[in-house]
């Protein structure tokens, strides 16, 4: 199997505006932002989607969520708030089969989502 688009971003084979990275996760700005701040946080491990995550991924997923909150704060979203979104599967609008947590902020958001 070839690399996913997001694995290529992790490996710097495709350029991206990376705002944070460590040995487990990478955060970069979404190429088509849906809010004034729109960042994706992904595991380096190519888990396709949360529905396919395994018990051994528990620590990685905890790390990913904590880093998403850190990144949101570092981008100035801590005070007014932000939304974290995981789109799982076709009905949710998933387009890239590599787990990613959207950080959306910088504007007031509707609930429920469309």
Residues in the site for ligand AMP, rule: CB under 6 A?
Answer: 5, 14, 16, 28, 30-32, 40, 87, 93-96
From the list 63, 98, 100, 102, the catalytic residue is 100
CB of 16 to ligand AMP, least distance (A): 5
Given a contact cutoff of 8 angstroms between Cβ atoms, the answer to whether 100 and 43 are in contact is no
CB of 74 to ligand AMP, least distance (A): 18
The nearest distance, CB 14 to ligand AMP, in angstroms, is 6
- Spell out the long-range contacts of 43-47 with Cβ–Cβ below 8 A and sequence spacing 24 or more: 43/99, 44/7, 44/10, 46/3, 46/4, 46/6, 46/7, 46/98, 46/99, 47/98, 47/99
Instruction: Check if 102 is active-site.
Output: no
Closer to ligand AMP by Cβ: residue 15 or 55: 15
Residues that are catalytic:
100
């Amino acid at each position: 199997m070839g690399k996913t688009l997001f694995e290529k971003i992790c490996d710097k084979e495709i350029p991206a505006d990376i705002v944070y990275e460590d040995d487990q996760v990478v955060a970069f700005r979404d190429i088509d932002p849906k809010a004034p701040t729109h960042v994706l946080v992904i595991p380096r491990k190519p888990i396709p989607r949360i529905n396919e995550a395994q018990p051994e991924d528990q620590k990685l997923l905890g790390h990913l969520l904590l880093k998403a909150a850190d990144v949101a704060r570092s981008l100035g979203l801590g005070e007014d708030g932000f939304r974290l979104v995981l789109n799982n599967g076709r009905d949710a609008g998933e387009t890239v089969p590599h787990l990613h947590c959207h950080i959306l902020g910088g504007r007031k958001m509707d609930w429920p989502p469309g």
